[in-house]
Amino acid sequence: MVKLINITELTSLLNLINSKTKKPSNYILRYWEKEFKLIKKTIIKNRRYYSEKQVNIIKLIKFLLKDKGMTVNGVKNLLKSN
């Protein structure tokens, strides 16, 4: 059985929290889903869930965008070449 994690748990795990409201910034993941075709969510009862493989891909994207300071287009090109 594959363990799935929902979008709120994933934003908390990635520390994508709004500093003012202290709520998860789910909109960031929804934007990344549109930009990166590698992210494939699973929808169950109108809620987004991600597999462990997807979580690892999203962690890589976050690292490249937030920690390395790459642009969205730069990350897309890097992921395409691999």
8-64 residue pLDDT tens: 999 999 999 988 998 999 999 999 999 999 999 999 999 999 999 999 999 999 999
Residues 6+ positions from 64 with CB-CB distance below 8 Å = 70, 74, 75, 78
Sign of the Cα torsion 73, 18, 43, 50 reads positive
pTM score of the predicted model: 0.89
